[in-house]
Protein backbone atom coordinates (compact mmCIF):
# COMPACT_ATOMS: atom_id res chain seq x y z
CA UNK A 1 0.00 0.00 0.00
CA UNK A 2 1.10 3.54 -0.69
CA UNK A 3 0.10 7.13 -0.12
CA UNK A 4 -1.14 9.45 -2.85
CA UNK A 5 -0.61 13.19 -2.96
CA UNK A 6 -2.12 15.75 -5.31
CA UNK A 7 -0.37 19.11 -5.51
CA UNK A 8 -2.30 21.92 -7.23
CA UNK A 9 -3.63 19.48 -9.82
CA UNK A 10 -5.34 21.17 -12.77
CA UNK A 11 -7.17 19.77 -15.78
CA UNK A 12 -8.20 21.96 -18.69
CA UNK A 13 -9.16 21.31 -22.29
CA UNK A 14 -7.70 23.52 -25.02
CA UNK A 15 -6.29 25.74 -22.28
CA UNK A 16 -9.73 27.28 -21.75
CA UNK A 17 -12.25 24.91 -20.22
CA UNK A 18 -10.83 24.14 -16.76
CA UNK A 19 -12.61 21.20 -15.10
CA UNK A 20 -10.22 20.61 -12.16
CA UNK A 21 -9.35 23.85 -10.37
CA UNK A 22 -6.01 23.29 -8.65
CA UNK A 23 -6.69 20.58 -6.06
CA UNK A 24 -4.41 19.79 -3.10
CA UNK A 25 -5.08 16.46 -1.41
CA UNK A 26 -3.11 13.93 0.64
CA UNK A 27 -4.22 10.31 1.01
CA UNK A 28 -2.41 8.29 3.66
CA UNK A 29 -1.24 4.68 3.09
CA UNK A 30 -4.08 2.28 3.83
CA UNK A 31 -6.71 5.01 3.87
CA UNK A 32 -10.14 4.69 2.23
CA UNK A 33 -10.92 8.05 0.60
CA UNK A 34 -14.10 8.80 -1.32
CA UNK A 35 -14.49 11.51 -3.96
CA UNK A 36 -18.15 12.55 -3.90
CA UNK A 37 -20.17 15.17 -5.71
CA UNK A 38 -22.90 15.65 -8.32
CA UNK A 39 -22.53 14.62 -11.96
CA UNK A 40 -20.04 16.81 -13.78
CA UNK A 41 -18.14 17.94 -10.66
CA UNK A 42 -14.86 16.41 -11.88
CA UNK A 43 -14.54 13.44 -9.51
CA UNK A 44 -14.11 10.77 -12.23
CA UNK A 45 -11.74 13.03 -14.17
CA UNK A 46 -9.61 13.43 -11.05
CA UNK A 47 -9.54 9.65 -10.53
CA UNK A 48 -8.54 9.08 -14.16
CA UNK A 49 -5.71 11.61 -13.76
CA UNK A 50 -4.40 9.60 -10.80
CA UNK A 51 -4.66 6.44 -12.91
CA UNK A 52 -2.89 8.01 -15.89
CA UNK A 53 -5.92 7.70 -18.17
CA UNK A 54 -6.22 11.52 -18.38
CA UNK A 55 -3.33 13.91 -18.91
CA UNK A 56 -2.49 16.49 -16.25
CA UNK A 57 -2.59 20.16 -17.28
CA UNK A 58 -0.83 21.43 -14.17
CA UNK A 59 0.42 20.36 -10.76
CA UNK A 60 1.75 16.98 -9.63
CA UNK A 61 0.39 13.52 -8.87
CA UNK A 62 2.64 11.65 -6.44
CA UNK A 63 2.20 7.94 -5.68
CA UNK A 64 4.34 6.32 -3.00
CA UNK A 65 6.61 9.37 -3.00
CA UNK A 66 7.17 9.25 -6.78
CA UNK A 67 5.98 11.89 -9.25
CA UNK A 68 4.02 10.00 -11.92
CA UNK A 69 2.70 12.79 -14.16
CA UNK A 70 4.39 11.42 -17.27
CA UNK A 71 4.20 7.71 -16.47
CA UNK A 72 1.69 5.46 -18.29
CA UNK A 73 -0.98 3.64 -16.25
CA UNK A 74 0.89 0.33 -16.29
CA UNK A 75 3.91 1.94 -14.60
CA UNK A 76 1.96 3.45 -11.70
CA UNK A 77 1.21 0.16 -9.92
CA UNK A 78 -2.48 0.88 -9.52
CA UNK A 79 -5.56 -1.25 -10.21
CA UNK A 80 -8.88 0.20 -11.33
CA UNK A 81 -12.40 -1.19 -10.96
CA UNK A 82 -14.81 0.29 -13.49
CA UNK A 83 -18.54 0.95 -13.39
CA UNK A 84 -19.24 -1.43 -16.31
CA UNK A 85 -17.04 -4.30 -14.94
CA UNK A 86 -14.95 -4.45 -18.20
CA UNK A 87 -14.83 -8.27 -18.19
CA UNK A 88 -13.91 -10.38 -21.22
CA UNK A 89 -17.19 -12.14 -22.13
CA UNK A 90 -15.49 -15.11 -23.86
CA UNK A 91 -13.20 -15.89 -20.92
CA UNK A 92 -14.01 -17.78 -17.71
CA UNK A 93 -13.95 -15.99 -14.39
CA UNK A 94 -10.61 -17.62 -13.63
CA UNK A 95 -9.10 -16.37 -16.90
CA UNK A 96 -10.56 -12.90 -16.41
CA UNK A 97 -8.90 -12.65 -13.01
CA UNK A 98 -5.64 -14.17 -14.27
CA UNK A 99 -5.38 -12.05 -17.43
CA UNK A 100 -3.36 -9.16 -16.01
CA UNK A 101 -0.92 -11.49 -14.25
CA UNK A 102 -0.30 -13.43 -17.45
CA UNK A 103 0.51 -10.21 -19.28
CA UNK A 104 3.19 -9.62 -16.63
CA UNK A 105 4.63 -13.13 -17.21
CA UNK A 106 3.74 -14.24 -13.68
CA UNK A 107 4.41 -17.99 -13.15
CA UNK A 108 1.26 -20.08 -13.56
CA UNK A 109 1.43 -21.62 -10.07
CA UNK A 110 1.63 -18.10 -8.56
CA UNK A 111 -1.34 -17.02 -10.70
CA UNK A 112 -3.38 -19.97 -9.46
CA UNK A 113 -2.52 -19.22 -5.84
CA UNK A 114 -3.47 -15.54 -6.12
CA UNK A 115 -6.69 -16.16 -8.07
CA UNK A 116 -7.94 -18.82 -5.64
CA UNK A 117 -7.02 -16.63 -2.67
CA UNK A 118 -8.96 -13.65 -4.06
CA UNK A 119 -11.89 -15.82 -5.14
CA UNK A 120 -12.24 -17.29 -1.64
CA UNK A 121 -12.07 -13.81 -0.14
CA UNK A 122 -14.90 -12.67 -2.44
CA UNK A 123 -16.86 -15.95 -2.14
CA UNK A 124 -16.79 -16.72 -5.88
CA UNK A 125 -14.36 -19.67 -5.76
CA UNK A 126 -17.16 -22.12 -6.65
CA UNK A 127 -17.89 -20.45 -10.02
CA UNK A 128 -14.47 -19.82 -11.52
CA UNK A 129 -15.24 -21.91 -14.62
CA UNK A 130 -18.31 -19.81 -15.55
CA UNK A 131 -18.47 -17.03 -18.13
CA UNK A 132 -19.57 -13.48 -17.17
CA UNK A 133 -22.92 -13.86 -18.98
CA UNK A 134 -23.94 -16.50 -16.42
CA UNK A 135 -23.48 -14.14 -13.49
CA UNK A 136 -25.57 -11.49 -11.75
CA UNK A 137 -24.42 -7.87 -11.65
CA UNK A 138 -23.13 -8.27 -8.12
CA UNK A 139 -21.15 -11.39 -9.02
CA UNK A 140 -19.60 -9.65 -12.03
CA UNK A 141 -18.51 -6.78 -9.82
CA UNK A 142 -16.88 -9.25 -7.43
CA UNK A 143 -14.91 -10.67 -10.36
CA UNK A 144 -13.82 -7.18 -11.40
CA UNK A 145 -12.68 -6.50 -7.81
CA UNK A 146 -10.94 -9.88 -7.70
CA UNK A 147 -9.05 -9.07 -10.90
CA UNK A 148 -7.73 -5.95 -9.15
CA UNK A 149 -6.87 -7.78 -5.91
CA UNK A 150 -4.71 -10.47 -7.56
CA UNK A 151 -2.35 -7.80 -8.89
CA UNK A 152 -1.55 -6.60 -5.35
CA UNK A 153 -1.24 -2.98 -6.47
CA UNK A 154 -0.12 -0.05 -4.35
CA UNK A 155 -3.45 1.73 -4.81
CA UNK A 156 -6.98 0.58 -5.73
CA UNK A 157 -9.16 2.98 -7.74
CA UNK A 158 -12.95 2.44 -7.86
CA UNK A 159 -14.98 4.44 -10.40
CA UNK A 160 -18.67 4.30 -9.32
CA UNK A 161 -18.52 0.49 -9.11
CA UNK A 162 -22.04 0.03 -7.70
CA UNK A 163 -24.07 2.41 -9.85
CA UNK A 164 -25.35 -0.36 -12.16
CA UNK A 165 -26.75 -2.43 -9.28
CA UNK A 166 -30.21 -2.28 -7.74
CA UNK A 167 -30.68 -0.64 -4.33
CA UNK A 168 -30.60 -3.84 -2.25
CA UNK A 169 -27.53 -5.21 -4.01
CA UNK A 170 -25.75 -1.85 -3.67
CA UNK A 171 -26.24 -2.05 0.08
CA UNK A 172 -24.86 -5.60 0.19
CA UNK A 173 -21.84 -4.74 -1.97
CA UNK A 174 -21.12 -1.63 0.14
CA UNK A 175 -20.78 -3.90 3.14
CA UNK A 176 -18.54 -6.31 1.21
CA UNK A 177 -16.23 -3.52 0.03
CA UNK A 178 -15.99 -2.19 3.60
CA UNK A 179 -15.05 -5.67 4.87
CA UNK A 180 -12.57 -6.08 2.04
CA UNK A 181 -10.77 -2.89 3.00
CA UNK A 182 -10.62 -3.98 6.63
CA UNK A 183 -9.03 -7.30 5.59
CA UNK A 184 -6.58 -5.97 3.01
CA UNK A 185 -5.68 -2.66 4.66
CA UNK A 186 -5.22 -1.32 1.15
CA UNK A 187 -5.18 2.28 -0.05
CA UNK A 188 -8.49 2.84 -1.83
CA UNK A 189 -9.75 5.88 -3.75
CA UNK A 190 -13.42 5.52 -4.54
CA UNK A 191 -15.64 7.74 -6.71
CA UNK A 192 -19.40 8.01 -6.25
CA UNK A 193 -22.26 10.50 -6.58
CA UNK A 194 -24.09 8.70 -3.76
CA UNK A 195 -23.48 10.48 -0.46
CA UNK A 196 -24.73 7.42 1.48
CA UNK A 197 -21.90 5.34 -0.05
CA UNK A 198 -19.45 8.09 0.81
CA UNK A 199 -20.57 8.36 4.44
CA UNK A 200 -20.62 4.61 5.09
CA UNK A 201 -17.36 3.64 3.35
CA UNK A 202 -14.87 6.46 3.79
CA UNK A 203 -12.18 7.20 6.33
CA UNK A 204 -12.18 10.67 4.76
CA UNK A 205 -14.40 12.28 2.13
CA UNK A 206 -13.42 14.81 -0.53
CA UNK A 207 -16.54 16.78 -1.52
CA UNK A 208 -16.19 18.25 -5.02
CA UNK A 209 -18.21 20.90 -6.83
CA UNK A 210 -17.44 22.29 -10.30
CA UNK A 211 -13.85 21.06 -10.08
CA UNK A 212 -13.23 22.62 -6.66
CA UNK A 213 -12.49 20.80 -3.41
CA UNK A 214 -15.19 22.08 -1.06
CA UNK A 215 -14.19 20.09 2.03
CA UNK A 216 -11.88 17.19 2.89
CA UNK A 217 -12.60 15.60 6.26
CA UNK A 218 -13.99 12.57 8.10
CA UNK A 219 -17.64 11.62 7.50
CA UNK A 220 -18.53 12.89 11.00
CA UNK A 221 -16.87 16.25 10.38
CA UNK A 222 -18.50 16.59 6.96
CA UNK A 223 -21.92 15.92 8.49
CA UNK A 224 -21.67 17.94 11.70
CA UNK A 225 -19.29 20.75 10.65
CA UNK A 226 -19.94 21.52 6.97
CA UNK A 227 -17.77 24.36 5.74
CA UNK A 228 -20.18 25.51 3.03
CA UNK A 229 -23.85 25.40 2.10
CA UNK A 230 -22.99 23.08 -0.79
CA UNK A 231 -21.55 20.49 1.59
CA UNK A 232 -24.43 20.93 4.06
CA UNK A 233 -27.04 20.50 1.35
CA UNK A 234 -25.32 17.58 -0.38
CA UNK A 235 -24.87 15.34 2.67
CA UNK A 236 -27.67 13.82 4.70
CA UNK A 237 -30.97 12.34 3.62
CA UNK A 238 -33.03 14.43 3.88
CA UNK A 239 -30.49 17.21 3.54
CA UNK A 240 -29.90 20.03 6.01
CA UNK A 241 -32.61 22.70 6.10
CA UNK A 242 -31.06 25.86 4.61
CA UNK A 243 -33.06 29.07 5.08
CA UNK A 244 -32.33 32.73 4.23
CA UNK A 245 -31.92 34.72 7.42
CA UNK A 246 -30.69 37.89 9.11
CA UNK A 247 -28.71 38.24 12.33
CA UNK A 248 -29.55 41.30 14.45
CA UNK A 249 -29.33 42.10 18.16
CA UNK A 250 -28.27 38.56 19.07
CA UNK A 251 -31.10 36.91 17.16
CA UNK A 252 -31.48 34.97 13.93
CA UNK A 253 -34.59 36.01 12.00
CA UNK A 254 -35.75 33.52 9.36
CA UNK A 255 -36.80 35.62 6.38
CA UNK A 256 -38.31 33.00 4.13
CA UNK A 257 -37.08 34.62 0.93
CA UNK A 258 -33.71 36.14 0.15
CA UNK A 259 -34.00 39.89 -0.31
CA UNK A 260 -36.80 40.47 2.19
CA UNK A 261 -36.66 44.00 3.56
CA UNK A 262 -35.31 44.44 7.07
CA UNK A 263 -38.47 46.08 8.39
CA UNK A 264 -40.50 43.09 7.25
CA UNK A 265 -38.04 40.73 8.92
CA UNK A 266 -38.22 42.49 12.26
CA UNK A 267 -41.97 41.94 12.31
CA UNK A 268 -41.52 38.25 11.50
CA UNK A 269 -42.35 35.80 14.30
CA UNK A 270 -39.75 33.15 13.32
CA UNK A 271 -36.82 34.41 15.39
CA UNK A 272 -34.20 32.35 17.21
CA UNK A 273 -31.56 33.29 19.76
CA UNK A 274 -28.03 33.25 18.42
CA UNK A 275 -26.55 29.96 19.72
CA UNK A 276 -23.77 30.12 22.36
CA UNK A 277 -21.17 28.66 19.98
CA UNK A 278 -21.60 31.77 17.80
CA UNK A 279 -21.94 34.35 20.57
CA UNK A 280 -18.26 35.28 20.51
CA UNK A 281 -17.71 34.69 16.83
CA UNK A 282 -18.06 36.82 13.74
CA UNK A 283 -21.80 36.09 13.56
CA UNK A 284 -22.50 38.34 16.54
CA UNK A 285 -21.72 41.48 14.56
CA UNK A 286 -23.54 40.43 11.39
CA UNK A 287 -26.46 42.74 10.56
CA UNK A 288 -26.92 42.12 6.83
CA UNK A 289 -29.61 40.07 5.09
CA UNK A 290 -27.21 37.94 3.09
CA UNK A 291 -26.95 34.91 5.35
CA UNK A 292 -28.24 31.36 5.48
CA UNK A 293 -29.38 29.46 8.57
CA UNK A 294 -28.89 25.69 8.63
CA UNK A 295 -30.19 22.89 10.82
CA UNK A 296 -30.53 19.16 10.19
CA UNK A 297 -33.96 17.45 10.42
CA UNK A 298 -32.97 15.38 13.48
CA UNK A 299 -32.18 18.56 15.40
CA UNK A 300 -35.75 19.90 15.14
CA UNK A 301 -37.96 18.53 17.92
CA UNK A 302 -41.55 18.59 19.04
CA UNK A 303 -41.85 20.92 22.06
CA UNK A 304 -44.10 20.78 25.13
CA UNK A 305 -47.17 23.01 24.78
CA UNK A 306 -45.98 25.28 27.63
CA UNK A 307 -42.45 25.84 26.18
CA UNK A 308 -42.23 29.61 25.78
CA UNK A 309 -39.05 29.40 23.71
CA UNK A 310 -40.71 27.19 21.08
CA UNK A 311 -41.76 28.31 17.62
CA UNK A 312 -45.30 27.65 16.50
CA UNK A 313 -45.48 25.70 13.27
CA UNK A 314 -48.17 24.10 11.15
CA UNK A 315 -47.98 20.66 9.55
CA UNK A 316 -47.60 20.81 5.77
CA UNK A 317 -47.04 17.14 4.96
CA UNK A 318 -46.10 13.96 6.85
CA UNK A 319 -44.17 11.08 5.25
CA UNK A 320 -44.23 7.86 7.32
CA UNK A 321 -41.07 5.75 6.81
CA UNK A 322 -41.73 2.98 9.31
CA UNK A 323 -39.06 3.70 11.93
CA UNK A 324 -39.73 7.46 11.77
CA UNK A 325 -41.90 10.07 10.09
CA UNK A 326 -40.52 12.99 8.11
CA UNK A 327 -42.69 16.03 8.71
CA UNK A 328 -42.56 19.29 6.79
CA UNK A 329 -43.56 22.22 9.00
CA UNK A 330 -44.29 25.80 8.02
CA UNK A 331 -42.63 28.24 10.40
CA UNK A 332 -43.51 31.81 9.52
CA UNK A 333 -42.66 32.13 5.82
CA UNK A 334 -40.29 29.11 5.85
CA UNK A 335 -40.73 25.38 5.49
CA UNK A 336 -38.49 22.95 7.39
CA UNK A 337 -38.25 19.16 7.45
CA UNK A 338 -38.03 17.40 10.83
CA UNK A 339 -37.50 13.78 11.86
CA UNK A 340 -40.42 12.88 14.12
CA UNK A 341 -41.44 9.68 15.92
CA UNK A 342 -43.06 6.90 13.91
CA UNK A 343 -46.35 7.44 15.76
CA UNK A 344 -46.72 11.06 14.55
CA UNK A 345 -50.30 11.32 13.25
CA UNK A 346 -51.17 15.01 13.30
CA UNK A 347 -53.26 16.26 10.40
CA UNK A 348 -52.17 18.73 7.77
CA UNK A 349 -52.68 22.29 9.06
CA UNK A 350 -52.36 21.33 12.73
CA UNK A 351 -50.53 24.04 14.69
CA UNK A 352 -47.98 22.81 17.21
CA UNK A 353 -44.80 24.01 18.99
CA UNK A 354 -41.35 22.92 17.82
CA UNK A 355 -37.84 23.91 18.88
CA UNK A 356 -34.44 23.97 17.20
CA UNK A 357 -31.47 22.50 19.08
CA UNK A 358 -29.05 25.40 19.59
CA UNK A 359 -26.03 23.09 19.74
CA UNK A 360 -26.61 22.09 16.13
CA UNK A 361 -27.41 25.38 14.42
CA UNK A 362 -25.25 26.60 11.53
CA UNK A 363 -24.81 29.98 9.89
CA UNK A 364 -23.40 30.59 6.40
CA UNK A 365 -22.55 33.64 4.31
CA UNK A 366 -25.09 33.79 1.49
CA UNK A 367 -22.65 35.24 -1.06
CA UNK A 368 -19.69 32.90 -0.58
CA UNK A 369 -21.65 29.98 0.86
CA UNK A 370 -18.96 29.54 3.52
CA UNK A 371 -19.70 28.74 7.18
CA UNK A 372 -19.57 31.59 9.70
CA UNK A 373 -17.73 30.53 12.86
In tens, the pLDDT along 158-180 reads 999 888 888 888 888 898 899 88
Fold of 4-234: Rossmann fold (3.40.50)
Instruction: Judge residue 22's burial from the number of C-beta atoms within 10 Å of its C-beta, 0-12 exposed, 13-18 middle, 19 or more buried.
Output: middle
Residues 350-368, mean pLDDT to the nearest whole number: 92
Whether the Cβ atoms of residue 160 and residue 197 lie closer than 8 Å to each other: no
pLDDT-derived band at 264 (thresholds 50, 70, 90) equals very low
pLDDT at 286 over 60: no
What's the pLDDT score for residue 166?
A: 85
Question: Rounded to an integer, what is the distance from CA 195 to the centroid of its chain?
Answer: 4
Residues 280-308, mean pLDDT to the nearest whole number: 77
Element of type H or E holding 111: helix 108-121
pLDDT at 262 over 70: no
pTM of the complete model: 0.88
pLDDT in tens, 78-91: 999 988 888 899 99
pLDDT at 371 over 80: yes
pLDDT-derived band at 281 (thresholds 50, 70, 90) equals low
Whether the Cβ atoms of residue 328 and residue 320 lie closer than 8 Å to each other: no
Q: Which of 266, 294, 256 is nearest to 372 (CA)?
A: 294
Topology alike, domains 4-234 and 241-365? no
* 10 vs 56: CA distance, rounded Å: 6
> Half-sphere exposure (CA, 13 Å, Cβ side) for 298?
7
What's the pLDDT score for residue 84?
A: 82
* 178 vs 193: CA distance, rounded Å: 17
Strands 271-273 and 351-356 come out as unpaired
- The neighbour count for residue 72, using CB atoms within 10 Å, is 9
pLDDT in tens, 242-257: 999 988 778 888 887 5
What's the pLDDT score for residue 58?
A: 94
Cα-flanking dihedrals φ and ψ of residue 191, to 5°? -105, 135
End-to-end CA distance of the chain: 38
* 342 vs 206: CA distance, rounded Å: 34
pLDDT-derived band at 260 (thresholds 50, 70, 90) equals very low
Average pLDDT, the chain: 89
Residues 50-65, mean pLDDT to the nearest whole number: 95
* 87 vs 147: CA distance, rounded Å: 9
Residues 185-197, mean pLDDT to the nearest whole number: 93
* Lowest mean pLDDT segment, chosen from 34-48, 236-250, 262-276, 349-363: 262-276
Q: What's the CATH number of domain 241-365, 1.10.10.10, 3.30.300.180, 2.40.50.140, 3.30.70.20? A: 2.40.50.140
Share of the chain above pLDDT 70, in %: 94
Q: Which of 361, 214, 368, 228 is nearest to 294 (CA)?
A: 361
pLDDT-derived band at 261 (thresholds 50, 70, 90) equals very low
The residue ranges of every structural domain in the chain are: 4-234, 241-365
Q: What b/e sequence results for 95-122 when a residue is b if at least 16 CB atoms lie within 10 Å of its CB, and e otherwise?
A: ebbbebbeeeeeeeeebeebbeebbebb
pLDDT at 25 over 90: yes
For 302, 312, 314, 325, 326, the CA distances from 318, given in Å and listed in that order, are 14, 17, 11, 7, 6
pLDDT at 9 over 90: yes
Instruction: Judge residue 225's burial from the number of C-beta atoms within 10 Å of its C-beta, 0-12 exposed, 13-18 middle, 19 or more buried.
Output: middle
* 353 vs 340: CA distance, rounded Å: 13
* 114 vs 125: CA distance, rounded Å: 12
Amino acid sequence: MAGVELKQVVKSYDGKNTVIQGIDLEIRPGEFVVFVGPSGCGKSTLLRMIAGLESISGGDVIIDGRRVNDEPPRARDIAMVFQDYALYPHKSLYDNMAFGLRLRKTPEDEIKRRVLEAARLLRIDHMLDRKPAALSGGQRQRVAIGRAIVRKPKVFLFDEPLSNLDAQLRGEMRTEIKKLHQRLGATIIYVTHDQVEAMTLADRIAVLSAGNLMQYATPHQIYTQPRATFVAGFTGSPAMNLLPCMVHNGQIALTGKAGTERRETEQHSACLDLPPKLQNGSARSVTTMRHVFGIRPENIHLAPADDRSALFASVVVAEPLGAETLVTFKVGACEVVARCPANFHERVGTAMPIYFDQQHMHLFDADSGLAIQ
